[in-house]
C-alpha cells in the first residue's frame, strides 16, 4: 500500500501525541504555521499509526527529532515515507541539510540505520559514549587503592562552595582559562544531586569537582568532573570518581551514568578499554546528516519570475 503522510497542524497535533517520546511532546503540541516545528503523520482506518517530528534550526538545518511507527505496521515502508515527506518540507523551507541523532543498543537501532542508509544519508558519526557503571566498580583497582590524595587535598560538598571560591574560579578563568569551557561547573548546578556533588581543594584552593544529577531512583549521572591540569598525573581524577561512587553506594544507589564525548578520544578509549565489560555497559549516541539539494530548478524559476 502506498503511504501518504499528512502534514500535522496545531489543531490535530494532540491526536498524535502518543506517537512521540515524552521529551519532544511539548514541541509537537506547539506547532505553528511556517514555524520551525514540522510534523507528518500516517493513519490506517482513521487511526494514527506513525509520526515524524522535526525542527528547523538557523533556517538551514532540519533536525529529525522523532520518528515512530506502531509495531503492527512496521517493515512496510511507513518510516521511509515519513522521512521522505519531512525531507521534502525541509527542502521547500530552504534547509541545506538534515540531521538526526539516535542511540545504539535499542531494539530499533538496526531499523533506523537501515532506513537512513537506504535514504542516502552519510555514514553515522559517534557523538557521546554512555557508560553505565554498576556495583562491580567496587572491585576496580582504582576504587580499592587507598591514599590517593595527600594531606594537601581536602574534599567539600559543592553546596558549601563559598562566594569567595566562586569569585576566585570565575576571575582566574577569565584572566587565563584553566578549565575547558564544557567543564566549568557553574553551568551544571541546577538540580544537582547534593549527595555526591563535591569539590576538591588543593592547599585551600578549589582545584577539582564532580557535579552529578539524579536521573531516577537507581541512577546518578556524573555530569561534570574535572581536576586542575598541573595536578593531573596518571589518572589522578580517580579519587574523585572513587569518592563519588562510594557516597552513592553507601546510600544504596547502584548505577552511575558517565557520558564521554567522542571529541575526547583518549577518554573514550580509556573508558572502553578499562571499564566496559568489567563493571560497565555502554551504548552511544550517533548523529547522521544528509545534504539537501535546493528545490527543483523550475520551482525556483517560477518564484523568480513571479518576483519580477
Ligand X SMILES: CC(C)(COP(=O)(O)OP(=O)(O)OC[C@H]1O[C@@H](n2cnc3c(N)ncnc32)[C@H](O)[C@@H]1OP(=O)(O)O)[C@@H](O)C(=O)NCCC(=O)NCCS
* Contact set with ligand X (CB under 6 A): 66-69, 74-80, 102, 106, 108, 110-112, 114-115, 118
Strand ordering across the sheet containing 198-202: 6-7, 37-44, 47-57, 61-69, 97-103, 280-291, 125-133, 255-261, 219-227, 205-216, 198-202, 153-157
| Grid coordinates of 111 | 531499523
Q: Which CB, 1 or 163, lies closer to ligand X? A: 1
User: In whole angstroms, what is the distance from residue 242 CA to residue 55 CA?
Assistant: 41
Q: Which CB, 42 or 220, lies closer to ligand X? A: 42
Smallest gap from Cβ 55 to ligand X, in A, equals 13
Reference 271, options 140, 99, 116; nearest CA is 140
| Grid coordinates of 204 | 585551600
DSSP state, 246? H
Q: Which CB, 57 or 157, lies closer to ligand X? A: 57
Smallest gap from Cβ 117 to ligand X, in A, equals 7
Smallest gap from Cβ 294 to ligand X, in A, equals 26
DSSP state, 140? S
Q: Which CB, 68 or 198, lies closer to ligand X? A: 68
What's the CA dihedral at 20, 23, 26, 28 to 10 degrees? Answer: -30
Q: Which CB, 10 or 103, lies closer to ligand X? A: 103
Cβ(242)–Cβ(148) below 8 Å: yes
User: In whole angstroms, what is the distance from residue 83 CA to residue 124 CA?
Assistant: 16
Smallest gap from Cβ 66 to ligand X, in A, equals 5
Smallest gap from Cβ 85 to ligand X, in A, equals 12
Q: Which CB, 102 or 158, lies closer to ligand X? A: 102
Smallest gap from Cβ 260 to ligand X, in A, equals 22
Amino acid at each position: 500500500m502506498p503511504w501518504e503522510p499528512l502534514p500535522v497542524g496545531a489543531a490535530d497535533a494532540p491526536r498524535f501525541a502518543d506517537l512521540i517520546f515524552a521529551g519532544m511532546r511539548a514541541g509537537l503540541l506547539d506547532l505553528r504555521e511556517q514555524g520551525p516545528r514540522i510534523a507528518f503523520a500516517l493513519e490506517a482506518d482513521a487511526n494514527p499509526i506513525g509520526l515524524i517530528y522535526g525542527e528547523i534550526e538557523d533556517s538551514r538545518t532540519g533536525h529529525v527529532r522523532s520518528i515512530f511507527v506502531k509495531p503492527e505496521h512496521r517493515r512496510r515502508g511507513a518510516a521511509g515515507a515519513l522521512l521522505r515527506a519531512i525531507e521534502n518540507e525541509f527542502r521547500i523551507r530552504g534547509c541545506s541539510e538534515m540531521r538526526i541523532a539516535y542511540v545504539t543498543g535499542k531494539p530499533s537501532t538496526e531499523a533506523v540505520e537501515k532506513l537512513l542508509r537506504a535514504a542516502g544519508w552519510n555514514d553515522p558519526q559517534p557523538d557521546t559514549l554512555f557508560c553505565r557503571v554498576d556495583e562491580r566498580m567496587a572491585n576496580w583497582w582504582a576504587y580499592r587503592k587507598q591514599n590517593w590524595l595527600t594531606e594537601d587535598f581536602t574534599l567539600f560538598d559543592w553546596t558549601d562552595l563559598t562566594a569567595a571560591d566562586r569569585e576566585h574560579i570565575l576571575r582566574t578563568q577569565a584572566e587565563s582559562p584553566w578549565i575547558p569551557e564544557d567543564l566549568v561547573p557553574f553551568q551544571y548546578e541546577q538540580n544537582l544531586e547534593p549527595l555526591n556533588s563535591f569539590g576538591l581543594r588543593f592547599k585551600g584552593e578549589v582545584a577539582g569537582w564532580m557535579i552529578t544529577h539524579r536521573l531516577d531512583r537507581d541512577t546518578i549521572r556524573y555530569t561534570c568532573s574535572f581536576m586542575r591540569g598541573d595536578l593531573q598525573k596518571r589518572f589522578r581524577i580517580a579519587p574523585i570518581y572513587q569518592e563519588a561512587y562510594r557516597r552513592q553506594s553507601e546510600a544504596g544507589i547502584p548505577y552511575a551514568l558517565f557520558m564521554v564525548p567522542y571529541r575526547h578520544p583518549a577518554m573514550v578509549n580509556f573508558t572502553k578499554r578499562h571499564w566496559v565489560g568489567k563493571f560497565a555497559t555502554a551504548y552511544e549516541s550517533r548523529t547522521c546528516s544528509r545534504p539537501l539539494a535546493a528545490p527543483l530548478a523550475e520551482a525556483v524559476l517560477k518564484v523568480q519570475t513571479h518576483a519580477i
